[in-house]
Amino acid sequence: MVCISEVEANGKIKNALLFSPDIHLPPEQILAYYQARFQSEFIFRDPKQFTGLSDCQARHLPRLDFHFNASLIALNLAKHELSSCHSSAKSFVFSMASYKRLEFNKHLLFTFIDKLDLDRDLILNHPNLPSVLSYGTLAP
């Protein structure tokens, strides 16, 4: 068992208990296993929620393999696109929910421009465009 204690800014102590069936495992190793576990769960959460990882109805292994790869590739492509545009000094934070919202906002804006016959250059060069496109996103 491992107990991790953290003192918050208001002075309150926050504890986390980590358990292992192996009583001889060193605490550092238990912590490393928990970190790896949560990292792998995080990797599969976004594809399940946003790229259809769990929506395949195929039964043949090659088709399932293709579907799983396509779902994970979609996540990686989204992550790559946002990371290549990241120019801030802050560390890169990826949110698939924010990426989805950003792409929806772009699509909606271009639909308005086309349907209302607006001047595309005037809108796309406006200084407030980034704040309009990022409306409703979670991560900056």
pLDDT digits (tens, 9 = 90+) for 24-81: 888 888 888 888 888 888 788 889 999 999 999 999 999 999 999 999 999 999 989 8
For tokens 């946002």, name the residue: 82
pLDDT digits (tens, 9 = 90+) for 122-137: 999 999 999 999 898 8
Smallest CA-to-CA distance from 18 within 5, 35, 31 is with 31
Sign of CA dihedral 67, 70, 74, 79: positive
Report the pLDDT value the prediction gives residue 139, as an integer from 0 to 100: 59
* pTM assigned to the model: 0.66
pLDDT digits (tens, 9 = 90+) for 68-125: 999 999 999 998 988 887 777 777 778 888 889 999 999 999 999 999 999 999 999 9
More confident of the two residues 11 and 2: 11
